[in-house]
Chain A
Amino acid sequence: EDQVTQSPEALRLQEGESSSLNCSYTVSGLRGLFWYRQDPGKGPEFLFTLYSAGEEKEKERLKATLTKKESFLHITAPKPEDSATYLCAVADSWGKFQFGAGTQVVVTP
């Protein structure tokens, strides 16, 4: 059975204090690993898709990387507007999605 574990559950950062979120996964035939951002009361918003180990993608202060067992979402010099819950999901060879529980990030001025 596919499993996705995100850590830490919650992260409190000072503005400008860079950090990383972890997403560990086990999946039968990875077809894609996805990162989403979710603001309170909203649906998840797509950030990145990674397809193979070694792949990296960047968007503003966010950078996602992928290995065979885990993915990291690096937040560089975060701002308060980066406060959100970040969700990781994998799609397996059957086309099934499995989401992690998310990491709640709070960035204080």
Chain B
Amino acid sequence: EAGVVQSPRYKIIEKKQPVAFWCNPISGHNTLYWYLQNLGQGPELLIRYENEEAVDDSQLPKDRFSAERLKGVDSTLKIQPAELGDSAVYLCASSSYKGNTGELFFGEGSRLTVL
């Protein structure tokens, strides 16, 4: 069974440029998460989807970040414009349990460097 697939793995951009990350979850997993992970820290939730509905986006900086999960399968996270402080690893995870009580399966992450 294929795992969670993320792309690109690495991205280097100048500040104020836009960037987008893509995630394809494990087949059949209705819950999808985007996390941000800074060096030496644990993942921090940005947004959680149940199917195509964003059920928790309270930590998403909506002035510059946006996300979508059309058709309830793959998802895109966008940053526009990027700032120096956005340099981090963006992790996508999926789960087959509703209500966030099951284990999460993570992708390998997209490492963003903003210059």
**Chain A interface (Cβ < 8 Å from any Cβ of B):** 4, 31-32, 34, 41-46, 49, 87, 89, 91, 95-97, 99-102
Given contacts A43-B4, A96-B56, contact A31 B103 (CB under 8 A): no
Contact A43 B106, beta carbon cutoff 8 Å: yes
Please give me the residue from chain A that is nearest to B41 by CB atom: A101
**Chain B interface (Cβ < 8 Å from any Cβ of A):** 4, 33, 40-45, 56, 91, 93, 99-109
Contact B101 A96, beta carbon cutoff 8 Å: no
Interface core residue of A31, A42, A44 (most chain B CB under 10 Å): A44
4 tightest Cβ-Cβ pairs between the two chains A and B: A43-B106, A99-B42, A95-B100, A46-B103
Contact B41 A43, beta carbon cutoff 8 Å: no
Distance to closest chain B CB from A56 (angstroms): 17
Please give me the residue from chain B that is nearest to A44 by CB atom: B106
Distance to closest chain A CB from B23 (angstroms): 11
Contact B42 A96, beta carbon cutoff 8 Å: no
Can you name 17 extra interface pairs (CB under 8 A) apart from A42-B108, A87-B42?
A: A31-B99, A32-B101, A42-B109, A43-B106, A43-B109, A44-B106, A49-B102, A89-B42, A91-B101, A96-B45, A96-B56, A97-B33, A99-B44, A100-B42, A102-B40, A102-B41, A102-B42
A-B contact pairs, 27 of them (CB 8 A): A31-B99, A31-B100, A41-B108, A41-B109, A42-B109, A43-B4, A43-B91, A43-B109, A44-B43, A44-B91, A45-B106, A46-B104, A49-B102, A49-B103, A87-B43, A89-B42, A95-B100, A96-B56, A97-B33, A99-B42, A99-B43, A99-B44, A100-B42, A101-B40, A101-B42, A102-B40, A102-B41
